[in-house]
Structure 1
Amino acid sequence: MTKTIAIVSRKGGVGKSTICSNLAVLAVNATVLDCDDQATLADWGDRRSQLYPQVISIAAKRAASYLQTTKTEWNFIDTPGTLDGGVIEVMKASDFVLVVLRYGQFELDSVSTTLSAIQVTGKPAAIVLNHIHPNTKASELIHDLEAAELGIPIAPIAIRLRTDFQNAAVQGMGVAELSKSSKASQEIMQLWQWLQQAINP
């Protein structure tokens, strides 16, 4: 049965496209719907030499209808850094919502609106910390977020800011395709394993 994951954040520049593309590469049999006007993943898909994941550029308001035509095992939706009606429809059409959060006070201030919208949709969701400095103790940040009682689970794996993500993107690849033994690959693979369990408990 096809599962759809919406990658969301009300703020731009938090790394939604990076998370989305790398998870889709690990899922293999996947479709990526790029709903962002910047078309970051559409451009990334043009650079790929692999058949999967398929990358489709589409407006958020049309994504729900398009999902009915996909035949891949997984769908990943990269949303724009807004919280308009189209993004809310995307969340409603998804099986799981992954909120990408860059740790900082301004980001924490803005995430409450996103979480309120998720609660309205009733969809299961989680927060993943992204762009963490490599030397930062991610466990402490995750603990702080859990203590804040935001209302949804915090993924136990944080994704650090590593050059491998950029190097892979330039080549139309995921970090796991670039090098499975790299720290970036290990982190994204751990996140993918956790996410599958969260979606299919």
Structure 2
Amino acid sequence: MMLYQRPDVRLICGVDEVGRGPLIGPVVTAAVILDPARPVAGLTDSKKLSERRRIELAAQIKQQALCWALGRAEPAEIDQLNILHATMLAMRRAVAALTIQPEWVLVDGNRTTEFGLPATAVIKGDLLVPEISAASILAKVARDEEMQALHLEHPQFGFADHKGYPTAAHLAAIAQYGVLPEHRRSFKPVRLVLEQQSI
């Protein structure tokens, strides 16, 4: 495996996504250019942080980064493109929304997309690259807020707990209450319920 080598440029943008696995809602991405003069302490993979710590760090990142932006792809786009291509689209949207153009883009994972800029995929980037850690935190907090809002609209689904992932509770709720407009129709558990309904 190739070890991560940091590009020798000043404006590095980290990109990460949250929400490839859930059955509902958008895939959310973030792009962050950190300010070397104002480092944010404690950055790591968002999954390793408590919800409270993520929210604290997200506020700090927004305040101290040179710039940041969110991108997203909606459930209809995910159904149309597939989750991988929708994720790449959301990543391009996040980078395009930055107010400062980065010199290099570092993407979490094993593949990148065409940003019109030099870009490198970094395996375990959310642990190794502070900019990607920051992006993973912003994307996670933003998507969790959307799931919280959806929970208030449909409390019987329990989105505040499982965040839309295919847990037993979520699958049981779909079976009992049906498919919501925000569900991803191309995802197998949702598709199977829709197929049963149309019989």
TM over 0.5: no
- Which has the bigger relative contact order, CA under 8 A and spacing at least 6? 2
Larger-Rg structure: 2
TM-score by length of 2: 0.27
* TM-score, scaled relative to structure 1: 0.27
